[in-house]
Amino acid sequence: MRAGLEPAVTGARAASVTVLDARSLRRHDGPSEDFIDRLTGRLFLAPRRRGKFLWIPLDEDRLNTPEALVVHLGMSGQVLLRGAGTDDALTRIRIDLENPVAGLLRLNFVDQRIFGSMSIDRLVPASDFTDDTVPSQVAHIARDPLDPRFDDSRFLARLAAKNTTIKRALLDQTLVSGIGNIYADESLWAARVHYDQPTASMSRQRARLLLREVRMVLTRALAEGGTSFDSQYLNVNGQSGYFSHSLNAYGQQGKPCPRCGRLIVREQFMNRGSHFCVHCQRVR
């Protein structure tokens, strides 16, 4: 979504803002009128993202306050990039943009379940000793492994200090972001690590291998547009991702492991499932 939005919104200005359902402002500190007033006329800078949050920094307002338009997709949220005057069903917030090159564009925030949101939030210093800024809502979320400023040594040290199991660690967004249940299973399969392996028992070499596989899985998934299992998971042009066709472990229970031919199994894990090969991925 970030990559799709970048050329359209960077340098564009919000010509008009329409809030069709105020429930989609659940994370905004103020009523609809405040959101509209503070966003209308503002210049959009290059979008950024961390975990399930995406934010578009805004030019400074009359109070010289660093702010950003923050998007959280929740369970079913979508940000769809459309031509001028084009609406979508279940649009909750509509932003008309003036792009200096492309002309008039429209951003529709579509959300079936209304668990997602848009908001305007202040930018605060990042907590990892860099000069970056992030929205205050995002300050507790760690960088993801594809972030150029992701600190491998810091991550490995914090991982080794945790008293937990490896998949729980991968899903802990205070440690690392961007790795959901699907990509955790795929990365653990690629690194031949069992999801219930205690982090304290993992060697630094194996932890480095796992981190490398995480990066490879995320890179491939981004190249294929993500993993779409239904019509709620779309890019900004309304297209599905195709990484679901490349899955080796997640959702493959009962099928042979692509590596050894034994069965992939699914076990209950944190109100969801873990998918792994009983032969390739053993607790060591």
As for how many domains the chain has, the answer is: 2
Q: Report yes or no on 282 lying in a domain.
A: no
Eight-state DSSP code of residue 135: E
Closest CA to 181 of 245, 236, 234, 249: 249
Q: Are residues 13 and 118 in the same domain?
A: yes
Q: Report yes or no on 283 lying in a domain.
A: no
Final residue in a domain of this structure, among 86, 108, 138: 138
What pLDDT, on a 0 to 100 scale, did the predictor assign at position 135? 97
Q: Are residues 179 and 63 in the same domain?
A: no
Q: Are residues 95 and 199 in the same domain?
A: no
Q: Are residues 102 and 168 in the same domain?
A: no
Q: Which domain holds residue 238?
A: 152-277
What's the order of all strands across the beta sheet hosting 103-111?
A: 13-19, 91-99, 103-111, 77-83
User: Position 146: which residue type?
Assistant: L
Q: Are residues 94 and 190 in the same domain?
A: no
- How do the pLDDT tens digits run along the chain, 284 residues long? 898 999 999 999 999 999 999 999 999 999 999 999 999 999 999 999 998 899 999 998 766 789 999 999 988 889 999 999 999 999 999 999 999 999 999 999 999 999 999 999 999 998 776 778 999 999 999 999 999 999 999 999 999 999 999 999 999 999 999 999 999 999 999 999 999 999 999 999 999 999 999 999 999 988 887 664 445 555 676 665 546 678 999 999 999 999 999 999 999 999 899 999 999 999 98
Q: Are residues 212 and 97 in the same domain?
A: no
Phi, psi angle pair for 123, to nearest 5°: -90, 135
CATH of the domain at 90: 3.20.190.10
Q: Are residues 134 and 9 in the same domain?
A: yes
CATH of the domain at 252: 1.10.8.50
Q: Report yes or no on 187 lying in a domain.
A: yes
Q: Are residues 119 and 8 in the same domain?
A: yes
Closest CA to 267 of 171, 167, 176: 167
Q: Are residues 227 and 161 in the same domain?
A: yes
What pLDDT, on a 0 to 100 scale, did the predictor assign at position 52? 84
Q: How far is CA 97 from the centre of its chain?
A: 24
What pLDDT, on a 0 to 100 scale, did the predictor assign at position 51? 85
Q: Are residues 117 and 176 in the same domain?
A: no
CB 256 within 8 A of CB 169: no
What pLDDT, on a 0 to 100 scale, did the predictor assign at position 275? 97
Q: How far apart are CA 13 and CA 242, in angstroms?
A: 32
What pLDDT, on a 0 to 100 scale, did the predictor assign at position 246? 80
Query: Which pTM does this prediction carry?
Result: 0.87
